[in-house]
Amino acid sequence: MQHARTTSGSVNGEVGIPRTATARPFLHVLADTSDKLSGICSILQERFTIAGERLDADSRLSQTPAAIVIRAELRDVDNIAAIKRRAGKLAKVRKRIFLLEHTSHVCISQAYALGATLVLPSTVGRTKLLAALADPADRPSASSGDTLQSDNAVETAATATASMFTAVTLGQPLDIDGTKEAGRQIADRITRHGLTEWLMTVRRHHEGTYQHCLLVTGVTIDFGLSLGVGRADLERLYTAAMFHDIGKAQIPLAILDKAGRLDAAERALIETHPTAGYAFLKDHDGISPEILDAVRHHHEYLDGSGYPDALCGESIGDIVRILTISDIFAALIEHRHYKPTMPRAEAYDVLCGMTGKLEKALVRSFKQVALTR
């Protein structure tokens, strides 16, 4: 494919953007219609050299781009087949962004199965798309190898999370070992490079519910490491964290990722997720009682004001106490497009203000995780 072509329109299913005198990153764009293809290229053409083609055209990609952007309806089996035909070439591209027309749990899982490193809604907008394409390798604190390893850990964990949600939605078998392996990879990554690097990487790749699950797992792991827990206890912690929100698979993403305050009915629906997750997991071999306890009770408070069972005091186990603190902190520091990210120090102050609800000694121990790690 020649990338110095002068056309910005569609020719045989392709869109080409001319290369300027100043070298710019080369991007490849795939879409299932010409309108979608042109729309993405018009957003990106000022900053990138672009070659694009429709999914129904023969693949002409002859060099490896810095990133690839795919906008397609993944409920269409022909689109899925067309992407699979390009799997070998896609695997060589470090950053693979899928823009989805329909952001259901199933479609998100399908995108990760096709090799996505980041999944965004097709309505994401210019600013967010350009931010997602910004190259993090310029950071002096990380080599390109470190960045790639970190991205791989996120891909593995995101794929495991998406697969869990799909298993619940479609009533399919749950890959317990795969989920635990994803947790282990996160633990290895954080042990080597710390929590801050993990938080930055996850925010760069994900929005909404999937971001939250990955943040909670990372925070829980680092909390366990800071407490000096052994290997077996660390595995219990990251397994509990990976599974803790699996019940949210039964709640529409429109509610889970809603901008602004939930109404009473929506809040009541959200609060069903611990029992839904427990109900789904309890008949699975390989899920221990303590993990089931964490999934069901991670929203319980020591003063009995939590849900779903209004437990209090000694009825709440150690794993649950650690997971609850991590879950709240992660929710506070999430990046959401509709509100600014809360600074970690401010989020820790919120935890300190939850007197009587959280174990005071654990909150004190969490300070270094929240502020310095």
Q: For residue 235, count CB atoms less than 10 angstroms from its CB and return exposed for 0-12, middle for 13-18, buried for 19 or more.
A: middle
Taking CA atoms, 91 is separated from 22, 86, 136, in Å, by: 28, 9, 19
pLDDT band (50, 70, 90) for residue 13: very low
- CA angle (145, 150, 151) in 5-degree steps: 100
Query: Of 103, 247, 237, 100, which Cα lies nearest the Cα of 165?
Result: 247
* Whole-number pLDDT of residue 359: 96
99-116 residue pLDDT tens: 988 877 778 778 877 888
Strand boundaries in 23-94, DSSP class E: 26-31, 49-54, 67-72
CA distance 116 to 162: 11
User: Per-residue pLDDT for 182 more than 80?
Assistant: yes
User: Which pLDDT score is estimated for 167?
Assistant: 85
User: Does the pLDDT value for residue 354 go beyond 90?
Assistant: yes
Angle at the Cα of 326 (from 321 to 327), degrees rounded to 5? 95
pLDDT score recorded for residue 200? 85
Asked if omega into 308 is within 30° of 0 (cis), the reply is yes
When pLDDT is cut at 50, 70 and 90, the band that residue 347 belongs to is very high
Structure tokens belonging to residue 161: 């999370």
Q: What is the pLDDT of residue 15?
A: 45
Mean pLDDT of 27-31: 93
Q: CB burial class (10 A; 0-12, 13-18, 19+) of residue 192? A: exposed
Token reading at 120? 């965004």
The answer to whether the predicted template modeling score (pTM) of the entire model surpasses 0.85 is: no
pLDDT band for position 206 (cuts 50, 70, 90): low
Q: Residue 141 pLDDT > 70, yes or no?
A: no
Q: Is the pLDDT of residue 219 over 80?
A: yes
User: Which of the four pLDDT bands, split at 50, 70 and 90, describes residue 207?
Assistant: low
